[in-house]
Amino acid sequence: MKKTLGFGLQALKNFLSGEKQPTDIYIMLTSRCNSRCIMCNEWKEKPFELPKKAWFSIIDDLVGFCGSFAKINFSGGEVLTMPSGLDIVQHCASKNFATGIVTNGFSINKAIARKLLTMGLFNINVSVDGLKPETHDFFRGFQGAGKRVFESIDILLNEKKKADSKTRIILKTIIARQNITEIIPLINWVKKKKLDGISFQPIAQTFGEDENVNWYKKSNLWPRKNELSKINKVLDEIVSLKKLGYQIYNPLSALQAFKAYFKNPSVVSRGECLVGSEDLTIFCNGEVILCGKFPVIGDLRIKDKDIKKIWYSKKADKVRKMIKNCRKKCLLTCYTKYSFLEKIKLFFQSSSPKLH
């Protein structure tokens, strides 16, 4: 509750003032991964990560800059494959940030689950791309992935109950042609299991590939034209369930935009992007960006470079202007922005009993 209120106050401050600070911070802690996802090339790269001491220093700088009133989400690669990963996440949570982690769940056992659920995390996001284990196996690139992730979710739920933890356990699910018939059953399964919610990501260009506006024409994951009506029907059902109070974390505006995206992902149909004034991403090598589609704005490995200097730098301002004028189609959930009214609604939704 306190962390949600703190984030809400920072969002209000940004809304009312001209001088803004980041409210959504994404830290890609490591490039190492124990999955072989077909929609990502990160696992093919040579692992790289900054030492624990460097990450502690970066997090401490963020405290001085943001005053703890920010959401910080850790991802990779897979954070739990990094030897110092849990220590870094715990250090962040101890600073009272609304701290979250994205995991594929493959490394979770009782001991790790207990630690995650007792360090004061805001949320644990588990990637699940199908209700059938074999569907999840397909997306994650190896047999047994689905069985393992559902076992991990059960472990997390049991340990959450034992610890009386307030940490939210949320599913993160892509929408692609191979799992479209499992989306609505998965939402109902989330309700039945008494998980805290689900967030959807429409399939995008393979992570790590050079940008190509025609990527979807060759992608096996992209729906065929004769499947669009099926996709649209499912998207309408998702919107209806959200309106009924189901814990679907995408804003309505984003869910409603999914239809146009699947019809033609290269068509522009959105207004000004707010990412430049609210988001900050730090890569595992120390590079800093505002948006993945634009140049790096700083490097934390350089002496005397800190987050605040980078955020207010001339290079960052130049990129912000580029982002403001950007009209590229972008529905990545990390960059999908809530309106101020949607943030207020989310605050009350997060603070009230869930529909189970």
Which tens digit of pLDDT belongs to each residue from 322-337?
Answer: 988 887 766 665 555 5
Contacts of 349 (CB under 8 A, 6+ apart): 247
State the pLDDT at residue 67.
79
pLDDT value, residue 37: 93
- CA separation (Å) from 77 to 32, 37, 81, 268? 5, 11, 8, 30
Residues of the chain with pLDDT under 50: 15, 17, 348-356
CB 139 within 8 A of CB 39: yes
The pLDDT tens digits of the residues spanning 53-106 come to 999 999 999 999 987 778 999 998 999 999 999 999 999 999 999 999 999 999
Nearest CA among 76, 77, 81, 29 for reference residue 55? 29
What is the structure's pLDDT at 344? 52
Phi and psi at 324, nearest 5°, equal -60, -35
Question: Which CA distances in Å does 281 have to 262, 311, 312?
Answer: 27, 11, 15
Can you give the pLDDT at residue 6?
53
Distance CA 329, CA 167 (A): 33
**How confident is the model at residue 115, as a pLDDT?**
98
